[in-house]
A = this chain, B = another copy of it.
Amino acid sequence: MAIVGSQPNVKQRRQRTLLDLIARAPIGSQDELVELLHQRGFEVTQATVSRDAAELGLVKVPRADRHIYATAEAAATGNAYDTRLRRLLEDIPVRIGRSGLSLVLVATPGSAGAIAQAIDQSSLTDQVGTLAGDNTLLVLFETEAALERWLVRFMTFQPSDESALPSGRPSPAASRVANSEAPR
């Protein structure tokens, strides 16, 4: 057992192949990878693939009804437009307020248009539309549920968390979005 060892860099080559494999096709399990590696001449077991995955920092991301492997890098890059939105949100602090069925995003002067466009093109689709002013933009919804759903998704786009919570008032208190009181 433990055949190898002779060729010192088998591990490196295997890991490179691994990266290549997950880049080419959606892979759903480590067993699948074992199989593919096998086809390419690497004799390994799931245990080794597990360790390789950890070393390479691979993650399993939920993508369209199933989970697939990706590099941490690729995981954040679903849609190219999503990436654009994420970038914007990293650079521009956005405060979120709420008014009825609209969310009010307050950004920096001149940036509202860019953010609105980024939102429109992103994979965020629960909104009816967006309307941008100079430093403020509205995101309009049809229902309360749509608004809530949107907000939760939107939060995963924001960096850490510097935003205010979407209650009524644009209060000064640093109330975080993810407040967490008891359910009822």
Contacts and interface: CB of A to CB of B under 8 A. Distances in A.
A167 B15 CA distance: 17
Can you list the 9 inter-chain pairs with the closest CB atoms, starting with the nearest? A20-B178, A41-B182, A59-B59, A17-B180, A12-B148, A76-B76, A54-B62, A72-B75, A4-B145
Interface residues of A, number: 65
Q: In the assembly, how many copies of this chain are there?
A: 2
A176 B20 contact: yes
A60 B76 CA distance: 13
Contact of A16 (B13, B54, B152): B152
Interface in A66-97: 67, 71-76, 78, 86
B183 A148 contact: no
Interface of A: 2-4, 6-10, 12-17, 19-21, 23, 40-43, 53-62, 67, 71-76, 78, 86, 143-145, 148-149, 151-153, 155-161, 176-184
